[in-house]
Structure 1
Amino acid sequence: MRRVVDIGRRIELIPIDPHFHDITIGLYRQQIVNTTTGRDSPVFLVHTYSHISGAAERIEHVMQSMQRLGGMLRTADGLLYFPCKRVHEAACRRVFLEACKLTSDTLAEPRPLNILDKKSQLTITVDSTGKGIYRVRAEGEGRGAARRISAIAGGLMKLGELESIETDNKDTVAFACGQSHDALIGLLLTRAPNVRVVLREAEMDASRGVLTAPSQQT
C-alpha cells in the first residue's frame, strides 16, 4: 500500500519549470510547534514529485534563492520561514515565483530598495523607518510623482499584503509583524509599478496549474 504523506497546503505552483526538464514545483505551507514558545509557527516547503536525476538539486537552488531574495531562514528539516515567525503568505508566494525564474547556475542577489520607474522616469526609493514601516519617495525630473508614489505603495500592499499607514501622501506601508523585511521590500518593489499585470499573470498561471502525480513524472 502506498503511504500518503501530508506535505501541507499548497499555496503556489510552477506547473512547468522551463529551467529543469519541465518538472512541476510546488510551494506548501505547514505549521510546526515552536519549542521555545510552544506556539504554532508557519513554515514553507518547496517540493516536487519528480524523481528525475538532478531534481533535488533544482529544489535546493530554489530554496537557496528564496533565502537570498526574501531574507528567509531555514530549519534543520529544510523548511523555510521568515525571521519574524509570521506567515506573510502572499509575499512568500512572490519570493517563490521569482526564485523559480532563475536558472540553476544563477546566483540570486537581494534587490536594492530603489528602482527606475519607466512609466514616470522617476527614481523610486523605499526607506525603512523602523518597526516594519516603509515610506515610498521619488526623485528626478519625471512627471506625476505623487500619483506614482501612491500607486507603487498600493502595489506593495497588494503583492505583500502590507498594511496602509495613514499619511497625506499615501506613501507609507507596514508589515503587520512590526519587523523590517528589507529583502522582501526590494523584491516586491521590482513588481509593484506594474502590479495589475503581475496579478493578472498570476491568475492565468494558477488557472493552468495542475500538480502532476508522482506516477506521471519521471
Structure 2
Amino acid sequence: MTSIVDIGKRIELVPIDPHFKDITIALYRQELDSRAVFKVHTYSRIEGSPKRIQEVINIMQTLGGMQKTSDGLLFFPCGDRHEAACRRVFLEACKLTSDTPVEPRPLNILDKKSKLTISVDSLGSGTYRVKSNGEGRSAERRVSAIAAGLIKLGEMEYAEDNSTDSIRFTCGQSHDALVGLLLVRAPNVRVILREQEAGTARGVLSAPSQQT
C-alpha cells in the first residue's frame, strides 16, 4: 500500500533546473516546534538528484544566512518565516552551480540607473538604513525606491514614521546576508516580481511516476 507523506506547503518552484538535467526543484514550508522550516525537494529519481538538492541547500545557507536542522530543513535563526525573502534565496541559489564560488553578498551595489553606489548600514535589532554616495533629490529618490524594493522583497517595514530610508525586519533581528542578497534585486523589484510570478505560473511539480 502506498503511503502519502506530507512535506508541507509548496511556496516556490523552479520548473527546469538548467544546471542538473532539467529536473524540477521546489521549496516547501513546514512548521517545526512553533517555527517555520523550509524543505528543498525534487521528485526526480535521476542519479545525482539528491546531490543537487544538497548543493542548493548549502548555497541557501550562505546566501541567506540560514541554518539547517539534522534533517536538512532550513530556517532563519530568528525563527520567523520571512517567506518572501526565503523564496528569493531559493531562486537565486538554483541559478548557481556547485563549482560557483559562493559568499554572502556585500551591503552595497552600483545602481546602474543612477550610477550611484547604494549601501545599507546595519543599525542592529533588525534595522537598516539605505544611503548613497550622492546628494540631491535624484539621489534621495533612488534611495527611497531601493528601500521600498527591499521592503517588498523582504516583507520588511519602515522603521520610522515619515522615513523613506530606514527599514526593519519585524522579528527584531539582523539578517545581513539576506539583505545583501535582496539589495542586488531591489533596484528592479517590479521586474523581478513579474518574472517570479510568471515562472511559478508555468511550473508544475510532477509526481515521481511522471519524472525520469
**Residue aligning to 1:81:** 75
**Residue aligning to 2:102:** 108
Identity %: 68
Distance (Å, rounded) in 2 between the aligned partners of 1:137 and 1:145: 9
Which of 156, 167, 185 is equivalent to 1:162? 156
Q: Relative to 1, partners in 2 of residues 1:124 and 1:142: Cα closer, same or farther, differing over 3 Å?
A: farther
Q: Which runs of 5+ in 1 are unaligned?
A: 34-39
C-alpha offsets along residues 92-140 of structure 1, whole Å, 9 cap, x if unaligned? Answer: 0000000000012213211000000000000000001111000000004
What are the equivalent positions in structure 2 for 1:24-173 lying under 5 Å apart?
A: 24-33=24-33, 40-140=34-134, 144-166=138-160, 168-173=162-167
Distance (Å, rounded) in 2 between the aligned partners of 1:167 and 1:193: 23
- Deviation at 1:141? 7.5
RMSD of aligned alpha carbons: 1.3
- Deviation at 1:168? 4.8
Which of 185, 197, 204 is equivalent to 1:191? 185
Distance (Å, rounded) in 2 between the aligned partners of 1:41 and 1:169: 31
- Equivalent position SS for 1:191: helix
- One-letter identity of the residue aligned with 1:190: V
TM-score calculated relative to the size of structure 2: 0.97
Q: Relative to 1, partners in 2 of residues 1:145 and 1:212: Cα closer, same or farther, differing over 3 Å?
A: same
C-alpha offsets along residues 75-103 of structure 1, whole Å, 9 cap, x if unaligned? Answer: 01110000111110000000000000001
- One-letter identity of the residue aligned with 1:117: D
- Deviation at 1:209? 1.3
- Deviation at 1:167? 5.2
C-alpha offsets along residues 147-173 of structure 1, whole Å, 9 cap, x if unaligned? Answer: 000000000000010011235551011
> 1:121 touches 1:140 (CA, 8 Å); kept in 2?
no
Q: Which runs of 5+ in 2 are unaligned?
A: none
> 1:122 touches 1:143 (CA, 8 Å); kept in 2?
no
- Equivalent position SS for 1:157: helix
